[in-house]
Amino acid sequence: MTELKGRPDTPLEVEEAPMDEAEGLVIVSRSFGRQTWDRFRRHKLAILAGVVLLIMTISFWAAPALSPYGFEEITPDFNQGPSLEHPFGTDDIGRDLLVRTFKAGQFSLLIALLVAVLTTVLGAVVGAVSGYFGGAIDSFLSQVINLFLVVPSFIVLLVVAVKWGSNPTGIAVLLALLLWTSIARVVRGVVLQYKEQEFVLAARAAGAGSLRILWRHIIPNTFGPIIVNATLLVGVAIILESTLSFLALGVRPPTPTLGNLVDAAKGDIDSDPIRVLIPGGFVVLIALCINFLGDGLRDALDPTTRRVRE
Amino acid sequence: MERGWGPEMSVLSQSRPSQNGTPILEVENLVTHFPIRAGVLRRRVGTVFAVDGVDLHVYPHETLGIVGESGCGKTTLGRSIIRLIEPTAGVVRFNGEDVIGAEPKRMRELRQEMQIVFQDPFASLNPRMPVRDIIGEPLLIQGRTRKEVRPQVAGLLEVVGLSPEHGNRYPHEFSGGQRQRIGIARALALKPSLIILDEPVSALDVSIQAQILNLLEDLQDELGLSYLFIAHDLSVVRHISDRVLVMYLGRVAEVADRNELYDRPAHPYTHALLSAVPIADPDLERKRQRIVLSGDLPSPAHPPSGCRFHTRCPIAQERCTETEPQLREVRSGHWVACHFALGAGETLLARVEELHREVTVLAFDPIDTDNDGEAGHPVHSG
Amino acid sequence: MGEQRLLEVENLSTSFTTEDGIVRAVSDVSFHVDRGEVLAVVGESGSGKSVMAMSLMRLLPKNAFVTGWASFEGRDLLSLSEAEMRKIRGRGMAMIFQDPMTALNPVFTVGNQIAEAVRVHQSVSKPLAMKRAVELLDLVGIPEPGQRVDSYPHEFSGGMRQRAVIAMAISNDPQLLIADEPTTALDVTIQAQVLEVIITVQRATGAAMLLITHDLGLVAGVADRVQVMYGGRVFESGDTRDVYYGGNNPYTRALMRSVPRLDERTSDRLSSVPGTPPSLIRLPRGCVFWPRCEFSEQVCRTTEPELIQCGTDHVSRCHFATTLPEFEYGARLGA
């Protein structure tokens, strides 16, 4: 630009003043991820939820590993209340409930994570294809999504769960089939919004093909909404899985999940309420933490809360 | 001529373009229609006649300004020329070569020659990419290696008045004017000879607007660029353009050299448009008689019959509702699409009075210099 | 004097607490509006002109902090209760916003909304209020107001919507119209229509107007007085001619010279102002304009200038307000 200085008709030298000096401030460069983290950090509740969730997750794995009992191991102590030996007591055939509860947390969490992964993959692919290519493909996929939404899927789920839902993988697949449409719709919306953005047009003007545009410009912008929705789905999946297992339509004992533990203990609610309250409490706590975390992520990843100069 | 981006960049021709010689861009009868679809089966229920038969030429080193109000198709026109939107029909030739029919591989090469700068400095930069990648992307797309790209990006940042260190930052860390500089740098990366500037300054504050206009003019002189400058601001277009083309509902209303068009508009629409723009000079502004067109802009989905402007034209006659006027040359290089074009020096108001028609005129009282000056008030003249 | 003054503002400051720091949007602004006059407030984005108006209407978000004194028809605006303030909004001062779409509620008919605005302040029957709505629509030049009164906002074009917004604003004969960029969102020919309506209405009702805009052309035609704002401060204020032709403030001068004009015959470079407007979180020390000012000297970097008297009712915030080189307005234009 220096060559352009001092043209005869220029009364004062313009342009060349460094912008930052003129603004009176130098902004420290922050990457997108860094900003997101800075915004997330301000959500104390989301941070707390994340920490609690992390502690729970670690203990779900650590406790059974450290315990002298296996989760399917039958001890001679039947139907015992909490004691030093068995802090959560034992069930009617003498299994240690602490180990079973934490192992159940492990299974429930794994199922929920599997659901999140499956829904995200299915939903993101369908949503992205539908939104980006539009036309007949979009019409068809949108109808498929609508079909999933209008079918009373929970009833269908109850019916199919009897047949395939008895093991953890089966139930995860079923829940994913029930839940993927919400991700697909979110991703389709985001893709539709971004594919007409001028930065996408600029890439096309430079000769970029569809793949590059999807990969470099559109997909990165769907990460935020996908992460938020997948997180919230984990919470939904935990609750749904517990519900099904509680109704004895989900994972069957001896594999413990938080839902079937409550189911097993429901007869003893008067004599030994702690057996219901502990696994039930875990379900509530996990769902709550995940929702707080999701809210925090939503704010942190929402581009509209990006700071704007006044 | 090989152009580098380093500090060795030399000052090229400073002379104003001449319109002799062959045009760099020729557009003939360009048509871009959009279907309006509705219902589950997405049946076509209508058509938006966004661009409906436009002819234009851009000569080397020239700026052709395109003005018009919303719905006139100016943005669609710009995008259709470089096939960001596929036109429905018509011919676009770049240096004599057919653009519309170009094979994908050839089209990709042609894109190096024709670039575009967008209006919205917020939407036109990917928020997730550092500026370095944004500017370098066209080069990577066109097959340059990352090693080649890096110094070029640094050079480009300097060319548009930013410093190379800015490359590591993200778009949100820049002000509107700086983002527009980034958008310009990206357009320059492939060393194009034609740049379509789609409302490049209308989102900017006035003081920043001037910086960007000056930058564009400098770059044009320096690099011998041709511009298609699309805008709704008539003052800005007059400032930057060599020739100006006025659009109304997908058609060309008038095209002429800048001063010829602004000083002696022949189309009643151009006249009314110029009359609607206020001038930032209190004494002058309060002497003017500004014609206010009645009615709203018709929708480009339902353009009026005959001359599209006849529904709002204060001097329209029977013929205008039936026959669509074609562009004709009224003076040298001055083309107008009107059956009853105004003569040189003839004002629209005079013609209206001649026809004993009525039109709303906005005129302000001159300022009473001894205080208590009343604000202007509009009068209705018949 | 007291009879004449409609609105008097002294030392108005507005700041916002945000995650990035305190945004000082308006700093120590004093001005007045007389009955029936048009005061234009001119500035770029971030100059504080809109926030200033919203502060007076008390329509700011919760994180805003307003200090100062503002008297409207003798009543202290900043200390009124919310209930009393509601009586003033619409009846005393009414606003015309930039975006006519967001100013109208999409689920009610235009007539309903105007009638509702009437009934908030006047105890009239619904049919009577609707009749008034038709009259108002007629006044703002909407054709066939009797039928259009039952239209929904989306059935109106942008220009029609802005007319409806104007009709709503004048429905209770306010003493002061605050128009915030009333024509900016509209097409050029529609801008002229709406401007004509605003001026007709303003004269018909005798209301004063606070016209907030960045458009120096708009101001040139309609304003009695002009107040130029920059960085939340008043930089210059005076009669329209004095401000445009006086050349007493470097920022005003730069602004005037950087705008291309419709009647400009040459294509000489515009004199642009280098740099960008200051961040309102970290304003420069001294004069907030010094980093961009062609006349700045050492004193400008250390001391913020006061408003200096340059003539009758004409003040400029510059150390050199009265000693700047002569300014020839429009010098750049060709013959």
ipTM of the complex: 0.89
- CB-based contact, A304 to chain B, within 8 Å: no
What is the three-state SS of B271-329? HHHHHHCCCCCHHHHCCCCEEECCCCCCCCCCCCCCCCCCCCCCCCCHHHHHCCCCCEE
CB distance A199–B125 less than 8 Å? yes
pLDDT in tens, chain B (382 residues): 344 444 333 333 333 444 557 899 999 999 999 988 877 677 888 899 999 999 999 999 999 999 999 889 999 999 999 999 999 999 999 999 999 999 999 999 999 999 999 988 788 999 888 899 999 999 998 888 888 899 999 999 998 988 888 888 888 888 888 999 999 999 999 999 999 999 999 888 888 899 999 999 999 999 999 999 999 999 999 999 999 999 999 999 999 999 999 999 999 999 999 999 999 999 999 988 889 998 888 999 999 999 999 999 999 999 999 999 999 999 999 999 999 999 988 999 999 999 999 888 888 877 765 444 444 444 444 3
Say yes or no: C39 contacts chain B, CB-CB below 8 A. Answer: no
Å between C289 CA and nearest CA of chain A: 9
Beta strands in chain C (DSSP E): 5-18, 21-34, 38-42, 64-72, 75-76, 93-96, 176-180, 208-213, 225-230, 233-239, 307-311, 314-317
Please check whether residue C276 touches A, CB under 8 A. yes
Q: CB-based contact (8 Å) between C280 and chain A?
A: yes
Indicate if the pLDDT at residue C237 is higher than 80: yes
**Using the beta-carbon criterion (under 8 Å), do C274 and A11 form an inter-chain contact?**
no
B224-256: pLDDT as tens digits: 999 999 999 999 999 999 999 999 999 999 999
Closest residue, chain A, to B192 (C-alpha) = A206
> Tokens for C206?
């005798």
Average pLDDT, chain C: 90
Residue bearing the bigger pLDDT, C41 or B18: C41
The answer to whether C267 faces chain B, any CB pair under 8 Å, is yes
In chain C, what residues touch A16 (CB-CB under 8 Å)?
274
Q: Do A205 and B84 touch (CB under 8 A)?
A: yes
For chain C, say whether A21 makes contact (Cβ under 8 Å): yes
Q: How far apart are CA B216 and CA B78, in angstroms?
A: 18
pTM of the model as a whole: 0.83
Query: Is C284 at the interface with chain A, CB within 8 A?
Result: yes
Closest A-chain CA to B163:
A18
> Beta strands B63-67 and B226-231: pairing type?
parallel
CB contact under 8 A, C203 and B209: no
Distance from CA of B33 to the nearest CA of A (A): 17
Q: Which of A10, A37, A308, A310 has the highest number of chain C CBs within 10 A, making it the mutation to test binding with C?
A: A310
Cβ distance of C223 and B283 shorter than 8 Å: no
Q: Which residue of A has its CA nearest to C268?
A: A9
Look at B280 and C223 and tell me if their CB atoms are within 8 Å: no
C329 inside 8 A of chain B by CB = yes
Q: List the single range of A8-12, A119-123, C93-97 with lowest mean pLDDT.
A: A8-12
d(CA B382, CA C156): 28
Rounded to 5°, angle at Cα B73 from B69 and B79: 130
**pLDDT, mean of residues A236-262:** 80
Rounded to whole angstroms, the Cα distance separating B312 from B190 reads: 44
CB contact under 8 A, C220 and B377: no
Sheet containing C225-230, strands listed edge to edge, beginning at the edge strand earlier in sequence: C93-96, C176-180, C208-213, C38-42, C225-230, C233-239, C314-317, C307-311
A198 with B119: Cβ contact below 8 A: yes
Do you know the residue count of chain B? 382
Decide if A310 touches C, using CB distance below 8 A.
yes
- Give every CB contact of residue A264 below 8 A, 6+ residues apart in sequence: A91, A92, A253, A275
pLDDT at B242: 95
Option in C23, C46, C275 nearest A17 (CB): C275
C7–chain A nearest CA distance, Å: 27
CA dist C101 and A88 (Å) reads: 62
Q: Is C20 on the interface with A (CB under 8 A)?
A: yes
pLDDT tens across C119-160, in order?
988 889 999 999 999 999 998 989 889 999 999 998 888 889
**Residues found in chain C:** 335
Q: Chain A within 8 Å of B107 (Cβ-Cβ)?
A: yes
Residue with tokens 């093909």: A209
The reply to whether residue C281 touches residue A19, judged by beta carbons under 8 angstroms, is no
C145 near C157, Cβ under 8 Å?
A: no
Residues of B with Cβ-Cβ distance to C328 under 8 angstroms: none
Peptide bond into A254 cis (omega under 30): yes
* pLDDT tens per residue across span C64-90: 999 999 999 989 999 999 999 988 998
CB within 8 Å of B352: residues ≥ 6 apart: B291, B314, B315, B358, B359
Query: Which residue of B lies nearest to A310 if distances are taken between CA atoms?
Result: B175
B169 vs A29: CB contact, 8 Å cut-off?
yes
Interchain pair A21, C275: CB under 8 A = yes
Residue B12 touches chain A, beta carbons under 8 Å: no
Given CB atoms, is B105 within the 8 Å cutoff of chain A?
A: no
| Chain A: closest CA distance from residue B219 (Å) | 9
- Measured CA to CA in angstroms, residue A234 lies from A174, A189, A245 at distances of 14, 21, 16
Q: Which residue of B has its CA nearest to A5?
A: B218
Using a CB-CB cut-off of 8 Å, the residues of chain B touching A3 are 9-11, 222
Contact A307 C291 (CB under 8 A): no
- Give B 73-102 residues with CB within 8 A of chain A: 79, 82, 84
Q: Which two tokens stand for residue A280?
A: 């039930």
Provide the shortest C-alpha distance from residue C81 to chain B (in Å): 34
Look at residue C97 in the predicted model and tell me its pLDDT. 86
Alpha-carbon span C192 to B293, nearest angstrom: 8
Residues in A touching B190 (Cβ below 8 Å) = 206
Q: Angle, to 10 degrees, between the axis of helix C158-169 and the axis of helix C188-205?
A: 10
Whole-number CA gyration radius for chain C = 21
A27 CB near a chain C CB, below 8 Å? no
Q: Is the pLDDT of residue A260 over 90?
A: no
Residue A209 three-state SS = coil
Nearest-CA distance from C15 to chain A in Å?
A: 11
